[in-house]
Amino acid sequence: MSVSVPLRLRPLEIGDMLDETFRMYRRHFLLFAGISLLLAVPSAALYGLAFAWFSVALRDTTGTDLSYLTPLIATAGAGFLVTLAILPFTNSAVMYAACESALGRPVTLGGVFSGILRRYFPLLGYWLLFTVTGLLAALLCVAPLVLWVWVFVGWIIVTPAMFIENISLGAAMRRSWQLVRGRWWRTFLVLFLMLIVWYVARVALDAFLQLGQFLLAIVLSPFIVAGVTLAGAELVSALVSPVLQILIVLIYFDLRVRREALDLFQMAYRLAAPAPAS
């Protein structure tokens, strides 16, 4: 169990928001990284196995024998279904833990998974909507992609709104749009800067992964090494993804502080709280 101190609410400048994101990640690193890595293991293992299987089968198969495709498709399909099934957990579990931590509540692994399960289907619909429409927009042309980014930023804090205010998906989407309105460009800039930081961290970790791949290739088959590397890339992505989820939670609180003076309510609550008995 992770014991948390409530987030001290205050208006955050862009640099302060990025700093607070990494500070919160460091403070609860084992919890956040553990959740993210745990969720990445099933799909990473299946995709790595499928790739290694395909590489070995392709090397050993001659002529028109395509029998190796059946287990390959089955393994890759299982990986896709697992990825789809755990999508609400992958994209929201760390966010839920960050919300609970910001509110000063004790955070446990069981509590995090229970919190996601209670909202499983709304979260699945929300993340599927953005994943599918984002892929389609990227495949079409610039205009749909720009529209998708505009809508995505407007709905960026839907998930923390659902968790903290205990509201439905539709209410959370309206709530997010209202809070982001008038501060779209600032929200976009914060997300864009964090994406740059995320990309640099990902590239740095991938460099270590490539070094490990080189060392493994000395003693193992290159096909097996390729599968291990693919699985390792999934785990590396999981290790850096919590910073984006934590940042979204901080964006939610910052917008509420700026629009609703939430920090003053927090201060008034603390002043009104009875002093501990001596």
3 is a domain residue: no
Ramachandran category for residue 10: left, alpha or beta (phi over 0 → left; psi -120 to 50 → alpha): beta
192 is a domain residue: yes
Strand pairing partners for 107? 2
Which residue range(s) make up the domain with 250? 14-266
Q: pLDDT of 184-240, one tens digit each?
A: 999 999 999 999 988 888 788 777 766 666 666 566 655 566 666 666 777 778 888
pTM exceeds 0.85 for this model? no
Q: What pLDDT was estimated at residue 278? A: 43
Q: How many domains is the chain built from?
A: 1
Q: pLDDT of 103-135, one tens digit each?
A: 888 888 889 999 999 999 999 999 988 888 888
44 is a domain residue: yes
- CA distance linking residue 15 with residue 120, whole number of Å: 33
Q: What pLDDT was estimated at residue 69? A: 62
